[in-house]
Amino acid sequence: MGNFYENIVVKIEYTAISNTNGHIDLRKMERLAMILSNLHNSGKHILLVSSGAIALGTNRLKVSSPPQELIEKQALSAIGQAELIKIYQNCFESYNQIVAQVLLTKDVMENQLRMINAKNTFMKLMEMNIIPVINENDTVSTDDIELNDNYPLTRNVAYLSGATMIIIKSDIDSEYDLLLKGETKTHHIFDEEKLLEKVEELMNSYKENESGSFFPESIKEIELSKYN
Amino acid sequence: MLYRKELKYKTRIVIKIGTASLSFPNGRLNFQRIERLVRVLSSIHNMGKDVILVSSGAIAAGAGRLGLKSKPADLASKQALAALGQAELIKIYQKFFEEYNQTVAQILLTRDVMTIPIRNKNARNTLRTLLDMNIIPIINENDTIATEEIEFGDNDTLSAYVATLIEADLLIMLSDIDGLYSADPKTDNTAEIIHSVHYIDEKIEELAKGASTNFSTGGMITKISAAKLCMKDNIDTIITNGASPEIIYDILDGEKVGTHFVSQKVKNLYTHE
């Protein structure tokens, strides 16, 4: 496997890959696949955390209003996750990039064996040059799903994969938030053309001044600031 | 053969298909087999039956995608292959089901779905809602985080859990064996398929020990205990060969194929005659 410092978790919200009408924007997904494949080609290991299963399930069934009930959300998510991963597969295929699907529940962090298994799976996938596409396993989730919009999940993935950096793409204007391990300050990048450049720069600066602080804690603060 | 005739009235059917039935002896996926299975399932769904598919094959699909010649031995590699293979497998199912205008959903479960009440409730609710929506759920084990090598034993146990979870009335287990034999057919010419089993006793369990399948991880033993689990919950089970998925039609027509594990509920129907 590559350098420890080279693992990047990218968290993408559904708004970043959809149209304003709530339907999936294939052009945006295609572009995302291109950027991530390119980052991967540059020698980084990418882990993608993606929302959108419920929305895709809703669209697939042509349900007019978003589901309110948990049961409905879980059912739509089971339909939509299959659709979502198919679209990712097709988009990444153009760049000869293989993806895998990993569905996690929150207790992955509470159960030692599960944690080790998930960690080993991530390590193995990265070693095999495969990009894992990760989402919450909504079907069996005990909490209200997608309430936290995958922030805790992203943090867990970063922890399990030993990622140095998280990229959060959260809106439709090609705006990225970059967060380094040990930092609480996010770096905003408005131009996706500059993303690779900026990632390199931040990676290098990180290597020089490794702060040593623990990654999950810093993410927690980001989370709090997002929700308070 | 009265009990066989009842099978056509089954309304909620779990079909479990093992890796051996979905792939060639070299381990690669048999697309034609999968396509035929999908056609049969869409057709029985069109008859008005609820259909739930429990499908293995993720590791085989992953190995195929990467062009690997053999299945990896270590757990981490298997889990990694399952993660990419499950995505491939569900894509293939979607593609084939799409031909028949049938929407599918993907459900990945771990064993604790049976032991943690809230998970149990969530999974049951999700499955019920999907069936209400006329969707065929495709279920597999969530290998990435499974704590044992293959917790459910090639999904045999998982399929029985699913059947009880959603109160199915029939479980059909398709594998590379024709059913439960009276002796090991590989070594004994007089071996015959036992077409119906009313009680699973030590004698039956002893017969299961002698049987083995080459490619799947679950042998006859896990199938018998799956059938036992179902019988307790009044669910009939059929164990038969999945080489020809159309065998599902024969089963529903009441034909004498495979081994039928008759549940008490069905037996009660005839006790007054």
| Closest by Cβ to A82, choosing from B65, B90, B110 | B90
Interface membership of A78 toward B (CB under 8 Å): yes
Tokens of A32: 């995302």
* A111 band by pLDDT with thresholds 50, 70 and 90: confident
Q: Is the pLDDT of residue A146 over 60?
A: no
Question: The whole model's pTM is what?
Answer: 0.86
CA distances from B143 to A49, A98, B56 (A): 18, 18, 11
* B260 band by pLDDT with thresholds 50, 70 and 90: very high
Can you give the pLDDT at residue A89?
95
| Closest by Cβ to A140, choosing from B94, B106, B119 | B119
| Closest by Cβ to B83, choosing from A105, A111, A132 | A132
Q: Is the pLDDT of residue B112 over 90?
A: no
Can you give the pLDDT at residue B214?
43
The alpha carbon dihedral of B50, A86, B113, B117 has a sign of negative
Q: Is the pLDDT of residue B266 over 60?
A: yes
Q: In B47-105, which ranges are continuous DSSP H helix? A: 58-66, 75-99
Can you give the pLDDT at residue A222?
53
Q: Is the pLDDT of residue A225 over 80?
A: no
A50-109 tens-digit pLDDT: 989 989 999 998 887 778 888 888 899 999 999 999 999 999 999 999 999 999 987 788
Whether A25 and A19 have beta carbons less than 8 Å apart is answered as yes
The predicted complex's ipTM stands at 0.80
- Using a CB-CB cut-off of 8 Å, the residues of chain B touching A89 are 87-88, 91
Cβ distance of B103 and A142 shorter than 8 Å: no
Beta bridge partners of B53: B15, B138
- For the ranges A39-53, A180-194, B159-173, the one whose mean pLDDT is highest: B159-173
| CB contact set of A21 (below 8 Å; sequence gap of 6+) | none
Can you give the pLDDT at residue B273?
43
Which amino acid makes up residue B107? I
Interface membership of A100 toward B (CB under 8 Å): yes
Top-confidence residue, B145 or B106: B106
% of chain A at pLDDT higher than 90 = 27
Whether A129 and A2 have beta carbons less than 8 Å apart is answered as no
Beta-carbon pairs below 8 A across chains A and B: 133
| CB contact set of A59 (below 8 Å; sequence gap of 6+) | A22, A23, A24, A80
The total number of residues shown for chain B amounts to 273
Beta-carbon-side half-sphere exposure of residue B115 (alpha carbons within 13 Å): 3
* B217 band by pLDDT with thresholds 50, 70 and 90: very low
pLDDT, mean of residues A99-121: 87
Distance CA A64, CA B80 (A): 37
- Using a CB-CB cut-off of 8 Å, the residues of chain A touching B123 are 139-140
Distance of CA A118 to the CA centre of its chain: 15
Nearest Cα to B211, choosing from B201, B202, B221, B203? Answer: B221
- In our burial notation (b when 16+ CB lie closer than 10 A, e otherwise), range A72-93 reads bbbbbbbbbbbbbbbbbbebbe
Q: Is the pLDDT of residue B218 over 80?
A: no
Can you give the pLDDT at residue A143?
60
Distance of CA A109 to the CA centre of its chain: 17
- Would you state the torsion angle of the CA atoms of residues B191, B195, B199, B200, taken in this order, to the nearest 10 degrees? 50
* B159 band by pLDDT with thresholds 50, 70 and 90: very high
Tokens of B125: 């609710």
Whether B241 and B202 have beta carbons less than 8 Å apart is answered as no
Q: Which of A122-131, A143-152, A213-222 has the lowest mean pLDDT?
A: A213-222
Top-confidence residue, B225 or A65: B225
Whether A84 and A135 have beta carbons less than 8 Å apart is answered as yes
B19-45 tens-digit pLDDT: 989 999 888 899 999 999 999 999 999
Q: Which strands make up the sheet holding B259-261, listed edge to edge? A: B104-109, B136-141, B50-55, B12-17, B170-175, B236-241, B259-261, B196-197
Distance CA B208, CA B196 (A): 14
Q: In A94-150, which ranges are continuous DSSP H helix? A: 112-127
* B110 band by pLDDT with thresholds 50, 70 and 90: confident
| Residue for token pair 């459900």 | B107
Interface membership of A125 toward B (CB under 8 Å): yes
Cβ distance of A74 and B122 shorter than 8 Å: yes
Phi and psi for B261 in degrees, rounded to 5?
A: -95, 105
Cβ distance of B90 and A137 shorter than 8 Å: no
% of chain B at pLDDT higher than 90 = 62
- Nearest-CA distance from B66 to chain A in Å? 9
Can you give the pLDDT at residue B215?
39
